[in-house]
Chain A
Amino acid sequence: MASEEGYPAAPDPAAEWTGARRRYDIVKEVTIAFGVVTLLAVLLSVLFSSPDVKPVTIAQWATAAPGDFVTTAVSELDGTSGLAGYGAPYTHVPGAGQNIIGGVSIQRALGVQIPIDPARAFVLDPLSIPAQSDAQLATALHTYESASTRRQQAWTTTYTKALAHASFSNGQIGLAPGRYGPVATMMQSLLDQAQSGGLDGALVSNTGFYQTDYTKPLLFLADGSYLGNLAQKQNLLGSQWGMMNETGNYPGQAWLWLYTFWYQVSPFSTSDNADAQIWAIMAVLSLALVCIPFLPGVRSVPRWSRIYRLVWRDYYRHADRVRPAPGSTATTP
């Protein structure tokens, strides 16, 4: 029977509830919930399936965009690529790496943990495979590796400039005559190797038989423009709120909205240290989310908003009914 004791107006949240109770079947509720969610998931799968866009291979890149591929390869060789200048955790570059604030950089502090030599990893080591049966390539490699750094840079710089006006036809790089040294032979061989699919395997397999680590081919792909151009068409770039998005019209990761938001606004949209700064902001905001019970102001929002009155409206109605009117000495039924 309803009574004032059963419906306290201001229950103490720290005390055990001694008020009115209702029947409740927890096992039934969870079972029904499981059934409902299973049905919903199956229905959505039947209606919409899931995306599975095939991965880009080095072979695909080299065939669809040979100019971009060769330009990237030369930049890896001469140390002007994005990876070569990246710094920790891949390459030793003094001063490289993002700062959170001032000169403070966790990235630099932790140092190189995944060491990669771009010239060796993406050009010289892969080419050593076809060089075993290609005397001209073997000679070119030997010439390049035994030249001085200054001579190597002269060749690669000249080659890079000529690439801007090169033609690509039937897998052949058409360049104006120039002093490219062995670089022209090396790049043609690398393009052949890539287009045939051999480079995909070479970049992964040089550490053993079984493979699970795709760091090298992915870093190589990321240094070019081809992967990014494909992503742009799918609105996946950082400047397109890409972190939230999925290919096609599938819903993506809407819960990342606040993380990707910062990349769209100044000063982060033009900052070289945007990643580090935004990570710091999100770490603070995540901590704030976890600590809401202790944050003055934020923890008062529920009371100000009064949304709770919708949740417990039945309870408040009952509580009002069973409470005696002010000044009355009558007890509740």
Chain B
Amino acid sequence: MVVSRRAVRLPGMFAALFNLNGHPHYVHSGWFLISLGNLVVVIAMIVVFVLALVLPFPRRKQP
């Protein structure tokens, strides 16, 4: 993820705080190539899945 160091125009709340339009960053190993954006999303999915399984669920009263 590239954090733009240029001054960011902010017409109201509609401009991005972080500019993702810059030079793309990739993780490359042999024939495997994945963008940093996609890698973050995939890792987040796995983390969220594991957390959903292990985090305790609040107990409620039975009817």
Contact = CB atoms under 8 A, between A and B. Distances in A.
Find out whether A and B make contact in their complex, taking CB atoms under 8 A apart as touching: yes
A22 B54 CA distance: 20
Interface stretch (A55-63, A84-92, A117-125, A248-256): A248-256
Interface stretch (A177-185, A218-226, A234-242): A234-242
Most B CB within 10 A of own CB, among A245, A248, A249: A249
Given A241-B33, A264-B31, A310-B53, A248 B63 contact: no
A150 interface: no
B63 A23 contact: yes
Interface string A284-320: 0000000000000000000000010011001000000
A314 B57 contact: yes
Contact of A252 (B1, B22, B35, B54): B35
A255 to B, nearest CB: 10
A23 B62 contact: yes
Contacts of A314: 57, 59
Given A264-B31, A310-B54, A20 B62 contact: yes
What DSSP secondary structure best describes chain A's contact surface?
Answer: loop
What DSSP secondary structure best describes chain B's contact surface?
Answer: loop
A22 B34 contact: no
Given A235-B26, A314-B57, A246 B18 contact: no
A291 B60 CA distance: 36
Interface residues of B, number: 32
Contacts of A240: 33
Given A22-B62, A46-B13, A235 B33 contact: yes
A47 B16 contact: yes
Nearest to B21: A248
A299 B50 CA distance: 21
B35 A235 contact: yes
A73 interface: no
Most A CB within 10 A of own CB, among B2, B34, B36, B37: B37
A254 B60 contact: no
A247 interface: yes
Interface of A: 20-23, 46-49, 51, 53, 234-235, 240-241, 244-252, 254, 264-265, 307, 310-311, 314
Contacts of A307: 53
Contacts of B40: 251
Interface in B20-34: 20-22, 24-26, 31, 33-34
Interface of B: 1-2, 13-18, 20-22, 24-26, 31, 33-38, 40-42, 53-54, 57, 59-63
Given A46-B13, A235-B35, A248 B22 contact: yes
Given A22-B62, A23-B60, A251 B37 contact: yes
A234 B38 CA distance: 14
A21 B40 CA distance: 38
B37 A252 contact: yes
Contacts of A234: 24
B36 A249 contact: yes
B38 A46 contact: no
Contacts of B42: 254
B21 A51 contact: yes
